[in-house]
Structures are given as C-alpha cells and as structure tokens.
Structure 1
C-alpha cells in the first residue's frame, strides 16, 4: 500500500483524519484503521486510531482539534535493522500494525501482523524452468507453475506464502514458456516485492541458475521448487539453520513404507528375530532449502547442476546439513494424479 495513505501531518484536524481512515476502511489493504502522525520533517511523532478520535470527541466534542494534539506518542514501533525480527513479542502484546522506522523516525513500511507470519532476512529463488512433460497435454501451452490451483496459478500460492513471511526479493528461474510467468507477475511491485527473472538458455538443473545471480544480498538464501503446494513454515526452517549453526537446512516430508509380511532379522541364515508387518518411516527431500550464501560459490557458472550435488559435496567436505520436517501439508505437483489431489485439497481450504 502507499505510505501516504496512512501518514497525516500533525496540524491536520481529526475530521481530516477521519476522512483518511474512512478511505483506508474501503480500500481494505490493512487489518486495523490507523494513521501515523508526522511533523514538518516527515518524522513520525505518534499514531492515531479511530478509537483515539472517539475518545477525543467524547472529551472535547471538537472536530477541529489537530491530530498532533490527540495522537498516541507512546506508540509501538521498530527501527529497521535489516535482520530477523521476532514478531511473537508483538503478537503477545496484541499489536496489530507495527511501523518500521529509520533512525530519523521516518516511516519506511508497516508490518500487518494479521497478514504477516514472520519477517525473514532472506532472498529466494524459485525454480520454474522445467518442461513438466508428465503433465502433458496440460503443459503443452502453459508452463507447469502457471497451471491453475483454485483461484490462481500454482506458483502464485508459493509467492503469496513467501510474502507472508516477509520475503521481499524473489528470483524466478525460467525457460519453458517463461514469458507467461513474467507477464503474470511483472516486477512484483503490485505485490509489494521485487521479482527478477533468471533466464536459462540451456537447462541448468535444480541449482545451476543460482550461479547467474550477480550478488545475493542476504547471508542465507531460500531455494524452492515452483510446483509445490505446502504450508511449510519458512521461519522454522530459518531459525533451525541459525540455531544449529548449519550450512544448509532441507525441508523434509515423511515417507512411510508398510511391509505386508513378517520381516526377519538374520545372521547368515539363522533367524534372530522377526517383526510382523512392520512400518518404516523415512524422511525425504521436499524441494525447499535454506543455505549460506557462500555455498553459491561452489556452483559452476552457467552449467547443469542439481542441488543434490551441492548437498553431497557439502557432506563429503564435513559441512553441516540438517533436515527440518514439514508438519503440515505438502504436495509435489509432478503428475496428473498429484495435480488432481492438490485441486481437491485446495477446495477445502479457507
């Protein structure tokens, strides 16, 4: 949203403030009606809500009072630090809108805690260049990430979720019918983010396109496949790699194998024990990764390179690779059966 729509000068009257709040109400872009009162230098000196105005009218019955006279000068705010911001402490205080100010107390942006799950200092690359042959003929004229899932394309679900975790810079690697993706999302400005497209002249695997980015500006990078549908907790992944001081964290899903027969534990041909119809649970790669920016230097420039190769190299060199289980839903939309499953699933989401 435009910051001017939520800023008001301290000399404006509360009647003028009411008019601005009314405009916000009908625009519907913010979860709470609030304005930030600024001085002549555009520094924020307080906040005004509809409740503040009601209390002022009850006490003074004067619509001509200035917003600078009635504003809350003890408003809660955060100075922009470009790092991880723990929103839990603000949610615990029932804060709905958190303004982010610079060191001169000028308003840079707001965090709507009703819409934002986290604020992660990550840049992300979404891999969206594949052909999607298994979904042909659906993908003969439409790239797989742009296939509809509910009311929007598959990749849009992922981008919206990234936005809800405060990720503002997204790279999308494109090749097959990539213009359709670019035409749909543009530069991302209408979503309040920045999107840059990395074009693959030849297929570069699941990590090769990372080598084409001149410089990532975040110490950790999020990489994910575009054809996933999941409620993965990106904040949990991020905090895990930080707390474990790991080089890479891979989101994982559980894969259960049910054996329909008794399984013997043996030594040579002697049965030592057996289990009747056991089940085994394995953790498998979910196609979502967070890793240190330095690892990009290991990726050969403009050559086919899979993320699994980077993982193997990391483990061989004694690096720390961890996995983080996804506790919600996860669907890899790689086949007609999976796509139909995701279409049915999204119908029951609110």
Structure 2
C-alpha cells in the first residue's frame, strides 16, 4: 500500500484533495488521512466531508484542515491483534494504523479483508497423491484445478482474506510447479517462501526446517483441503483457552439403524432406538504455539499427532474448534468430484 497516496498535508486545498482522491486505487473507500508538518495524522477526509463543505460555502480553495474529520477512528500499529467486529458494527471501511507518534503506518481495509491475524502459515504441499492417480502423475495434487484455480490457491486466497501475509509452502513431489505458479507471492501482495523436503517428513516435520518464525503462533494446514474455515474464530478460541495447540475439527455422525442395548453384565438394562452418535475428527488445520516447534526433531519424519500426544503427555492444553461451514479433504477421486460439484453452487 502506497501510504503517500492516501496522505495529504493539512495546508492543501479542497481542489487538491479532490485530485488526490481521484487517483486512489485498490481500496474499498475513497479516503485521505490529513497530516501536519511532522507527518502526524490529525484527521481523515472523505468525499462526503468535501461535499458538506462545498454545500456550505462553495469554496474549493479552502484549506482542508478546516474540513477534515478530527474525531476519526484509529488503532495503534503495534497492537498485535485487532478485533474488527467492533468497527464493522460502526460501518467503518478503512481503519488507519498509527505509530506511537501518530504517524500513519498502515491501514486495514475492512471492505476487502475479514481480519488481520498475527499468524504465519505453513501449507503442506509435498505429498504424492497416489490415490488420485493418474491425475497426479504429472501434476502435484495441490495444483489440481478446482473451479477457475488450483486447490491450493483457494486456501492461499482465504488466508489472505484473514490478513495473513507470510506463507511457507512445504514442497517435494513436483514442487517446482507450485513454486513456478506462485513465485515469491508478490503477485498476491504477500510473501511466500518454500520449504524443500528432500524426503518425507510427515505432517509436522517440515516445521523444523524454519528457524525464523516471527509470530507467536504458527498456522499449519494441509494444502489439499477445500473449506470455508473461520480462522479468526479459531484464533480467538486459541487465545481464550490459552491452548498449546488448537485443532480445527469436523463433525462426523454415525447413524445406527437398530436399537442399541445398554447392558450390565449379561442383562439388558435399557436401549436406545436407532441412535445417532456424533464425533469430532481432525480437519488438518492447526494453530501451534511457536515454542512447541523446538520439540520437533530436525529433518526427521514427525507427524502432528506426535506433537499432540506430547502436549497431552505433559499436561498441556490441546483443544479443538469445530468448522461450521463446509470442509472437503481431497484425497480420493470421489472427494475431488464432490469438491468440483460443490464449487459450482458457491457464489
């Protein structure tokens, strides 16, 4: 984001502000942030503010320091996590982020993103996908098309919508196709780095190959999922429970077509007629405290379930967060067909 393009000095005139508003691109609302001689933000200016001023006196050469809104809403840039629900309720579209000296450091465009989560993400994309052969004989499974883009791109775009800006992609089988397609992520306005697995490292071993995670929690996710998981709800739940690992879960129902006896010794003491049992299963999405990654042996096959067992063994907090919407694990041809059919009905 070009912050100079949305900033204007308080001594500028209305006509100058109009010209600058007309040049703004890539934001959901036309707005300028008015600064003083020290580059401190003193107000916001929209086309509505200008219209109201012109309706009063028709003076297009008036200085904007007398027109701007000095009671504008802002957040501090150093704040790690901002719950945007409060601002959405107030119909705020652009939220400026100011540093300790009130200088503009960034903006949150609520019209384009759902949240800004302080997470780095690792996408697991190195598997062979044998069950989907021959589709995966020359194409890595995450790059199979789903609608108008590859499976993995659906996940990356959803991560971006939650404000996640740094993504690592763990690659192995035909990984050069993934790297060639996404590059360094700049085309999507994010940073992408690649973890090159020279051998199979399981579902968590690739985490040991990253030594410079910056966020306090790491999001680990299978790249062959098709889901509308709410990452923010999952993150809030993680914080509320102070969980070591938060696992996204899916509901799995088992319908028994018969009456089930409740027994004691060899006697029937009751029964349930055609009961339904509900279980929660692992959805392949995890939020992990960064310090736990030190427990993963370097460059060694290690599954995320090994780390989960370790957390439980040491008395840590392992929690799950149900996915309310849709979730498809694209592992078999029938799963892929289901996802292809499902996406046709999504808006």
TM over 0.5: yes
What residue number does 1:311 align with?
308
1:275-286 matches, cutoff 5 A: 275-286=272-283
Residue 182 in 1 paired to residue 179 in 2? yes
Structure 1 match to 2:22: 22
Residues 102-141 of structure 1 correspond to what in structure 2 (within 5 A)?
A: 102-141=99-138
**Which residue does 1:10 correspond to in 2?**
10
Deviation at 1:3, TM superposition (A): 2.4
Who is 2:232 aligned against?
A: 235
In structure 2, the residue matched to 1:199 is 196
Aligned to 2:295: 298
Q: Does the CA contact (< 8 Å) of 2:250 and 2:281 recur in 1?
A: yes
Q: Secondary structure at the match of 1:314?
A: helix
Quote the residue 1:32 is aligned against: 29
TM-score, scaled relative to structure 2: 0.94
Root-mean-square deviation (CA, aligned residues, Å) is 1.7
Partners of 2:244 and 2:318 within 8 A in 1: yes
CA offsets 1:48-86 (integer angstroms, 9 cap, x no match): 111011112112212222333322222111111241111
Matched-pair contact (CA < 8 Å) for 2:77–2:106 = no
Q: Shift in Å at residue 216 of structure 1?
A: 1.5
**CA deviation after TM superposition for structure 1 residue 112, in Å:** 1.1
- Equivalent of 2:340 in 336, 339, 343: 343
Larger deviation: 57-66 or 295-304?
Answer: 57-66
Q: Aligned equivalents of 2:342 and 2:149: distance in 1?
A: 14
* Contact 1:122 1:218 (8 Å CA) reproduced: yes
Q: Which residue in 1 is equivalent to 2:258?
A: 261
C-alpha separation between the residues in 2 aligned to 1:153 and 1:22? 36
Query: Where in structure 1 are there 5+ consecutive unaligned residues?
Result: none
2:60 paired with 1:57: no
For 1:160 and 1:331, how far apart are their aligned partners in 2?
17
Distance 1:286 1:44, change over 3 A: same
Deviations 1:121-140 (CA, angstroms, capped at 9, x unpaired)? 11111111111111222222
- TM-score if structure 1 supplies the norm length? 0.94
Are 1:9 and 1:40, in contact at CA under 8 Å, matched by a contact in 2?
yes
Secondary structure (helix, strand or coil) at the match of 1:134 reads helix
Secondary structure of 1:170 counterpart: strand
Instruction: Tell me if the contact between 1:82 and 1:121 (Cα under 8 Å) persists in the aligned partners.
Output: no
Q: Following the alignment from structure 1 to structure 2, what is the Cα–Cα distance between the partners of residues 151 and 50? A: 37
User: Does the residue aligned with 2:270 lie in a helix, a strand or coil?
Assistant: strand
- Asked if 1:48 is matched to 2:51, the reply is no
Task: Give me the whole-angstrom Cα distance separating, in 2, the residues matched to 1:309 and 1:155.
Answer: 25
3-state DSSP class of the match of 1:52? helix
Q: How does 1:213-228 map to 2 (within 5 A)?
A: 213-228=210-225
